Every structure is written in C-alpha cells, then in structure tokens.
Amino acid sequence: MFRPKNISFLRNVKKRDDLNFYATQAPKYLSAKEVIEKQLRAEIQPPKAKKWSKTAVLEALNENVKFCVRPHYMALQSPQYWGNYEKNSSKYIARMNGIKAANYVISNQREIFEHDWDADNIDPWLRINPDEQFPDDPLQEEEIIKCLEEGNETESYSDEDVAEEDSTIKLDNSLESLKILLSNKKPEPAAEMFLSLKDDGVEIPDAVTNQLIGLLAFYRASLNEVKQLEKYPNQSLYSWRMNRKQEVNLLHKVMGTIPSPTPEQLTACIRCHVLNYDFATACETYRKIPNQDSTQFNLESFNSVMLARLMLNINYSNCLGLLKEIRDAGYLPNRESFVNILTCRPTNSPEVLINFWAKVINEMDYLGIDVGLDAYVAMMNTADGLRITNKQKYQVQRAILEHMKGRWLDPDDPMNVAFVDKIHWKIAENPGCTALFWEIFTSGQNHKLLERSTKNYQITLGMLLSCFKTEGMEKVWSTLQQLVPMKLIMNDKTTALLIKAIFRNKRPEYLPVTYAMYLDKRMGMYSARSAWLDAANQLVDLADKDTKTQLAIVGTEIHFRLKECKSRIERLHLLNASLKLVANSGTVAQTAGLIETYLDKYSEYRIHEDTRAVCKNLLEKHPQSTALQKAVTDLEEKWKVGNESLQRNKRALSSDSSTDPYADDWWP
C-alpha cells in the first residue's frame, strides 16, 4: 500500500527575517584588502557559494602577481601554486572565484600586471622600467567590493583598444620607436625593427637588447588570453602561448646578431626552450652557440641543459660530466643540480640504484645542501620507471623512506610543503611504507609539514584507514590520540572501520570508550551504531565483568534513544540488537526494564527469534527474579498475539489472490 512521506517536519520550520539577518551580519564597506583578509580569517562569514582564493586575490591587490609554469616538477621555482584541482572540490571553487576577482583587478588596474611573469626568477635587466608603465587609474573600493561579492566582471581593455591607442603614435625605424614597442609589450614588431636597425648599422644599447630578449623568451599572455581561464581553468593566472614558433624564430635571429652572448642572454634562451618543452633545441643551443665557452654560462643555464638532457633520455654519464663542467666554470652545484642527477636511471637493478642515490645524498650533505622532499620525490619517480616487479618496487620505496627517517625537514621550505602529498600518493598502496611514512611525519618537527600541507585531511585519513586494516589495537589507539582534528576525521565510515579493527583484534574493552568518544552525540550514524552493536553482541562473551556492565549501560541508552532514528527499519534493528546486548551482558534488572519499555512504547515492532531466545536463556539462569519472569511472560504473550495476527493476514492474502484473475501477473 502506498504510504505518503512524513511531512511533520514542515511544522517546525521557523521563519527568519532575512533583511534583519543580512543587516546585522553583512560586511561593512572597508578597504578591499581588509575585507578579503577578514573573510579569510572568518571574521566576516561570506555566503557559502563564495569561496575566494587567498593567493589569487591578495597578490592581485598587493601588486605581487607571479606566473609559474610546470613543464617538469624540478623546473618550477615557485611551488606554492602546485596542485591539481578537481571540479567538485572546494579548492577548485575558491581558485575560480579568486581568478574572477583578480581578472576584475586586471581589467581596471592594468599597471599592476605590466611586469614580467616572475620577478624572482628573472634578473633585473629583464624587467620593464616602471616609468614606462601605463598611467595610474586607481580603483574605487566600493566597486571592487561589489565585484568580489557578486562575482560580476566589468568591461576590460582588449588588444584592439590598445592597437587603436598605438595607431595614434607614429612609429618610424628608430631607436625611440623600438623602446615604445618594448614598453607596450609588442615582441614581434619590436624584433623586426631590431633586426632592421642592425642591418642599417645602428648601435643598440645592451639594456634594450636584453629587454627584447626577455620579452621574446618570457612573453606573458594578453588580456584576451587571460579571459580564456574560464574555459580552461587548469591554467595559471598567466599562461604561455601554445603556438610561439614565430617568437622563438625571432629569438634565434636576435641571438645570431650578438657575437658574444652574455650568460644572462644564454640563460634566457635556454630556459625559453626548456619551459616550452623543446628540450632538443635547448641542447642544440647549448652546443651551437657562437664562441661557446663554459665560462659564459651561469649555474641556471647548466641546470636547464641538464634537465633537457634528462628529458631526452640521454645517458646519465653526460649529466655527470656536466657537473664537472659546472665546477670548471667556477660554480658549485646547487640543490636543483643534484635533484636532476637523482632523476637519472643508470640501471634497472634496485641495489645499484640505491647505492648510487646514497652517494649523491652524501655529496649533498658534504656540500651543506639541504636535502628536501623534492629529492625523495625524484627517487620515487625514478623507481616508478624501473623494469622491476611490484615487490621490488615496494622494497625500493621502503629504502627511500628508511633513508628519510631521522632527517630533519625544513617546515618553512615551500618545496617540502608541496611534496608531502606526493610522497604519500606514491606509497599509498604499500601498508608497510604507509606506517613508516606516518612515523616520519609525526616525529620531531616534521609534523609541521603535515599540518601545513594542503592535503592534510586526505593524508591523515589514508594513514588512519591503513592503520585500521593492519595494525593492532594499541597502535590504532595511539594513532588516534595523535590526530588533532579527531572528531572531524571520525565520520560514519571511519568509525565503522575502527569497530571492525576492534572486532578483528578481539578487544571488547575498547567498545565502550569508542562509543563515548565518537557515537554518543551522533545518533544519526546508523551504520556505525549497527556495527558497534553487532560487534558488542559477538564479543560480549570475551569481556570481563566491568566491560559487560559498561556495554549494558550503552545498550540501554541506545534503546531509550530509538525515537531519534529516522527510519522504521533502523529502529527495528537497533531495538533487537540493544535488547539482545543487555540480555547477553547478564544484567537482570536492565533486561526486565527494557522489555517493559518495549511493550509500552514499541509494541508495534516485532521481536526476532534470537532476541527471544537470549531473554529465555537469561531467565533460566536467574529463575528467582520475579520482574524478569513477568517481563519474559508478557513478551511471549505479545509475540503469540502478533504471530497469530501475522498468520491470519497471510491466509487472507492467499485467499484474495486465488480469486483475483490478475494474480498471476503480480509475480514475474
């Protein structure tokens, strides 16, 4: 029979004065930076749909925007932007809202974004002169606050508007016109004019030449390309052009006019090819530069060439030979140089490879270079490419973690913070390595890396689930005590797994404290409570007297809170399981009281056969208890009446189906 859904909850809904609510809690019109900072500190709660990105918005307002590219995990210099964002995650939503806010600032304050893509990675000679920037056009605070709250975008400058402005300026074949093109970020016309001036014999200052090389090598995206972030959200705030063949060809022609390139110019040219995944051209540029001399290159050029050789699968001995060239040029290899060497794969033998890594790490320690997590991730990536079995791969991963054990990792290094989740992702399928990983990052100062990681919750949850499946109860319980956000992590699924771990280890003394810590105030967790009652009923015979008393108290509490359950089926299961647990605990008075409560409040529910059998067995052990005898007798009479009613309904249904001409259609 069709039964309508219960709609009684609609009567308890209280109306709220929305105008009064928003009038009291809406943010005041402060400065844009203060509003964002207060929202990030949760002093002013934003709407749930509006999640802002701290880096995108604050750096846009603080005039400190950086552009990062990840051609390879070792080539990136600013790892605070690393991480893959899923479309359904809160980080993805926050990042997209932050990009919209930053794009609004880009459209109205263009002078903030006229610098080159990364001021930390480019020498001062590659930067644009601040005097040649666009004029100031300050943004009103009310407009930016309105945009950030509503998510709207205003009209922005386009390349066509800039072209109309440039058309009013008459450009001739002169050095002043070249400077104007460079200040307006026009790489192709500036390069063509530069080559034309060189053919005419005009002397061009080195500062202008360096500015042109920097513009061709590190050309940032246009405003129209920034708008494409909505269609391609995986890109950064700035993006490289996918088709840059013309700029690269012009860069080669400009470099051909320089008889003796400087180390900075060679660095810009080689890094341009490396960051655009053109590793073969980068190596060829290193070999075919006119008047090539190792003293012309700086350390960054050598590291870029080494990375290009590794990407081309060139023999690792060439990379080791490049280390000798670095020292001959008067430089000491830095951390990036050794990380590139750790990526080499000299052999497929795990033993030989581990010995090779140990020598590289010892050399880093000898030179006083900090061994960060990026070095260990390089080893993990190399182990993934070995032609070995999974068992040998797990042995290599464990050897890497054993070498990491006892080493102090700098928690303020952004490289280390960015690579914690990558290490865990590599060894997630290996329970032995997972336990060792947890031991490393919960000892000493290394726990700060785990706290600052963006994947802190996922890592902790994965370690906890692995511990539940493999470790003993003492290790499981000590691991739980180390977790800071314990009640946030212990949801319905993890609590059920904890109960399964208790049942697997046959330790019923952990059941009462588990209920008190994780299930007492969360009656809606039916699956966890059901698992708890089932485990308690099977382990009650192994418990001591005090544990049985505690289990009986918990069973009584669950029985008296059955009305909090939403489903009738859930209520029926918890009713039988709690009554069975109290009877198995051997408490006569509580069992009699629960039976009377059942007959008074829950008589419409049917008692199972095993629950009746447990109550009868308890009465046989305590025949002198008159209260229990009366309760069990009433329970039997109630069960007989219900059973007779059930049989009568079955006979009525069978008689109705015999006269129904469509009875055969009821069952397929």
Q: Hey, where are the domains in the chain?
A: 24-150, 345-489, 507-654
Predicted local distance difference test score (pLDDT) of residue 164: 44
Whether the predicted model's global pTM rises above the 0.85 cut = no
Give 400-450 as a DSSP string.
HHHHHTT----TT-HHHHHHHHHHHHHSTT-HHHHHHHHHHTTSGGGHHHH
Six token digits for residue 212: 């042109």
The amino acid present at 268, given as its one-letter code, is A
**pLDDT value of residue 15:** 35
Q: Is 298 helix (H, G, I), strand (E, B) or coil?
A: coil
Q: What's the pLDDT score for residue 564?
A: 77
Question: What pLDDT, on a 0 to 100 scale, did the predictor assign at position 73?
Answer: 30
Burial class (CB in 10 A: 0-12, 13-18, 19+), 156: middle
- Paired tokens of 475: 């290790």
For residues 317-340, one letter each, b for 16 or more C-beta atoms within 10 angstroms of the residue's C-beta and e for the rest, the string is eebeebbeebeebebebbbbbbbb
**Separation CA 257–CA 198 (nearest Å):** 8
Q: What is the pLDDT of residue 218?
A: 64
Structure confidence at residue 479 (pLDDT): 73
Neighbouring C-beta atoms of residue 432, cutoff 10 Å: 15
Overall residue count recorded for the chain in this entry: 668
Q: Show the tokens assigned to 224.
A: 């129209």
Residue type, 167: S
Burial call 171-187: b when 16+ CB within 10 Å, e when fewer: eeeeeebbbbbbbbebb
Token pair 């990681």 is found at: 453
Q: Rounded to whole angstroms, how far apart are CA atoms 492 and 500? A: 13
The two tokens of residue 452 are 């600052």
Across the chain, which has 668 residues, the per-10-residue mean pLDDT values are: 32 34 38 52 41 50 36 30 38 50 53 38 34 36 44 39 47 82 82 88 85 72 45 40 63 82 75 69 67 59 70 61 72 80 77 84 83 84 82 86 82 76 78 78 76 70 74 78 57 79 88 80 69 89 88 86 80 86 86 84 81 86 86 83 70 58 39
Which pLDDT value is given to residue 451? 73
Looking at residue 454, its pLDDT comes to 66
Per-residue model confidence (pLDDT) at position 440 = 81
- Tell me what pLDDT residue 611 has: 86
The token duo for 537 is 């009923």
Contacts of 208 (CB under 8 A, 6+ apart): 175, 178, 179, 182
Can you tell me which residue has the tokens 């060239």?
A: 325
Distance CA(229)–CA(102), nearest Å, equals 11
Residue 150 has φ and ψ, to the nearest 5°, of: -95, -15
Can you spell out the DSSP letters for 182-196? HHTT-HHHHHHHHHH
